Amino acid sequence: KHIFQNIEASIKRGEKLLAVLIDPDKMELDSLANSMVKLNTSRATHVFVGGSTVDDFKTDDLIKALKGLTDLPVLIFPGDVSQLSSYADGLLFLSLVSGRNPEYLIGKQVEAVSILRAMDLEIIPTGYVLIENGKETAVERVTQTQPLSRNNIQHIVDTAKASELLGMSCIYLEAGSGAIEPISSTIIKAVKKELQIPLIVGGGISSKQQLDNAYDAGADLVVIGTAFEVDDAFFDDIKSPVSFGHFPKGEK
């Protein structure tokens, strides 16, 4: 499996990546086929699957169905150990480095190992950095951690850098699903400037302008969940390679 290698190669070529996040708790299997048509004709390069609270087994069923409906790499973006699935291609092996809850820094990861041993997933170690966006996020509620203050940019940069120095393969800056405002360009720029590893940005991105802003500020891969679920027009808008300057013409 070469998902991460391919991500690095795309970044080197100057391409920007887009992951659509599917929450197994919100996506009905009945409507999955239609959603996947929308996804396959969009600029998406990856599919992420996960959520803060998902019923057991739902993830497994969803990914199994997904794999029959798309050729894009499917990565688990887990809220919990119960969301691991052997049907996926890879796993963002998250450590919630913005928080100080040992369970989400290392506890769940230790628990996951006995399950992962029986699976053949590409593991991508990811420093997961939650940043406040003005309202409480599901991540805060579930993990019982505080997000980083959006005003203390140095602390955000140092947290991302510490994760890189610990050996993380990438950093995920998260504003929270449905965030009122996405991560600001100022924060993305400051973090990107110090990082050698790929930068993922997500939370509250719901327009082409916000997507472009994140890319221009230095995001290598943007994650969109809510807008994919609720806004067909937005996904139509990012279908056309002509209006979407970040992608080389003719490329999928």
Residue among 179, 191, 197, 214 that touches ligand 1GP (CB under 6 A): 179
* Closest CB to ligand 1GP among residues 9, 180: 180
Q: Which of residues 142-171 bind ligand 1GP (CB under 6 A)?
A: none
Q: Does 203 bind ligand 1GP (CB under 6 A)?
A: yes
* Closest CB to ligand 1GP among residues 48, 87: 48
Q: Does 22 bind ligand 1GP (CB under 6 A)?
A: no
Q: Does 177 bind ligand 1GP (CB under 6 A)?
A: yes
* Closest CB to ligand 1GP among residues 125, 204: 204
| Stretch of residues binding ligand 1GP (CB under 6 A), selected from 83-91, 173-181, 187-195, 212-220 | 173-181
Measured distance CA(30)–CA(54) in Å, rounded: 17
Measured distance CA(63)–CA(250) in Å, rounded: 29
Q: Does 202 bind ligand 1GP (CB under 6 A)?
A: yes
* Closest CB to ligand 1GP among residues 184, 250: 184
Residue among 174, 191, 197, 211 that touches ligand 1GP (CB under 6 A): 174
The answer to whether residues 96 and 143 touch, using CB atoms and an 8 Å cutoff, is yes
Q: Does 80 bind ligand 1GP (CB under 6 A)?
A: no
Measured distance CA(143)–CA(63) in Å, rounded: 24
The answer to whether residues 185 and 192 touch, using CB atoms and an 8 Å cutoff, is no
Q: Which two tokens stand for residue 153?
A: 């940019």
The residue ranges of DSSP E strands in 50-168, in sequence order, are 74-76, 90-96, 122-130
Size of the site for ligand 1GP (CB under 6 A): 14
Q: Does 73 bind ligand 1GP (CB under 6 A)?
A: no
Q: Which two tokens stand for residue 220?
A: 């290598």
Distances in Å between the alpha carbon of 239 and those of 38, 63, 225, 244? 9, 24, 16, 8
Q: Which two tokens stand for residue 236?
A: 């139509």
Q: Which two tokens stand for residue 162?
A: 């510490």
Shortest Å, Cβ 38 to ligand 1GP = 15
Q: Does 21 bind ligand 1GP (CB under 6 A)?
A: yes
Distances in Å between the alpha carbon of 132 and those of 39, 73, 102, 148, 175? 29, 30, 20, 6, 6
Residue among 205, 211, 217, 221 that touches ligand 1GP (CB under 6 A): 205
Show Cβ contacts of residue 153 under 8 Å, excluding neighbours closer than 6 positions: 186, 187, 190
Q: Does 178 bind ligand 1GP (CB under 6 A)?
A: yes
State phi, psi for 15 to the nearest 5 degrees: -90, 155
* Closest CB to ligand 1GP among residues 66, 175: 175
Residues that bind ligand 1GP (CB under 6 A): 21, 174, 177-179, 202-205, 223-227
